[in-house]
Amino acid sequence: MTLYGVGLGPGDPDLISVRGREILDGVDVVYSPGRLSRAVATEHVPESRIGDLDFPMTSDEERLREAWKEAAAEIAPEARAGDAAFVTLGDPNVYSTFGHLRRTLDAFHPDIDVEVVPGISAMTAFATALKVEVEAGAGLALREAAGGHAPTGPDRMILFKVTDAPETARKLDRAGYDVRFGRRLFMDAGETVIADDAEAVADRDYYTLAYAKRRGLETSRATDEFAADADANGRVSATTDVEVGDD
């Protein structure tokens, strides 16, 4: 039978895909790697079908390898006897714990079939939440920025794992970027924060990302003409801040 890696989306239970929901309905057991993914999963399946896995909070690779071997040993018999799912927030193939599980299964339980159901990743959800349009032709890079790091280079970047927003913001400002932060976007648990000021997200919260754009980037879009026409005709576009008279 099959182990399904199911992306739950960013955290609002209704942002799972229809296929993901159907898979969760049909499998015998649903494993989750953490508290938040478990909370979202329980919106879709009864607690009695949730399988708990224990992962230590450590960067010790030896302990982590042991934990993954234990998780794979627990999941493999379930996925042999029936169908099972392993859920992750966002997409299972984007910076996700699911990758470790799949590699461990490949190494120690290669007979297990694995299928992935994609989820809405924070790397796409940020665009709607932060009102960013990634235009055709624009480049966009995904980077990590834990511990006050501030990668530079690309014109536009999404930064995951922002744990010291003020420090990351200071460095990016010096390097010529404008930065906006998003915390717990489309997430039921906790408070959603969207801010240009890093102080608004200064406290550490793992579910924080940033969008950085090089200052002074020139963009040219075919529809720019419409705004010029609107100005010429005295109409007000949605993004301009102009008072309209009665006549």
Integer Cα distance of 140 and 213 in angstroms: 9
x-or-dash string of contact with ligand SAM, 109-148, rule CB under 6 A: ------------xx--------------------------
Closest approach of ligand SAM to the CB of residue 119, in Å: 7
Integer Cα distance of 167 and 157 in angstroms: 17
Using the contact rule CB under 6 A, the part of the chain among 38-46, 109-117, 205-213, 222-230 near ligand SAM is: 205-213
Contact predicate 33/113, CB 8 Å: no
Instruction: Tell me if 53 contacts ligand SAM by CB under 6 A.
Output: no
**Number of other CB atoms surrounding residue 191 within 10 Å:** 8
Name the residue nearer to ligand SAM (CB basis): 38 or 184. 184
Closest CA to 120 of 233, 21, 45: 21
Structure tokens at 120: 């809405």
Contact predicate 60/5, CB 8 Å: no
Closest approach of ligand SAM to the CB of residue 50, in Å: 19
Please give the DSSP secondary-structure letter assigned to residue 90.
B
Strand order through the sheet with 29-32: 50-52, 29-32, 84-88, 2-7, 113-117
Contact predicate 74/68, CB 8 Å: no
Instruction: Tell me if 10 contacts ligand SAM by CB under 6 A.
Output: yes
x-or-dash string of contact with ligand SAM, 79-98, rule CB under 6 A: ---------xxxx--xxx--
Tokens 């649903």 sit at which residue?
A: 30
Instruction: Tell me if 169 contacts ligand SAM by CB under 6 A.
Output: no
Out of 56, 60, 81, 206, the only residue in the binding site for ligand SAM (CB under 6 A) is: 206
Structure tokens at 48: 């009695």
Name the residue nearer to ligand SAM (CB basis): 28 or 154. 154
Name the residue nearer to ligand SAM (CB basis): 12 or 78. 12
Instruction: Tell me if 71 contacts ligand SAM by CB under 6 A.
Output: no
Closest approach of ligand SAM to the CB of residue 243, in Å: 37
Question: Which chain residues interact with ligand SAM by CB under 6 A?
Answer: 10-11, 88-91, 94-96, 121-122, 160-162, 182-187, 206-209
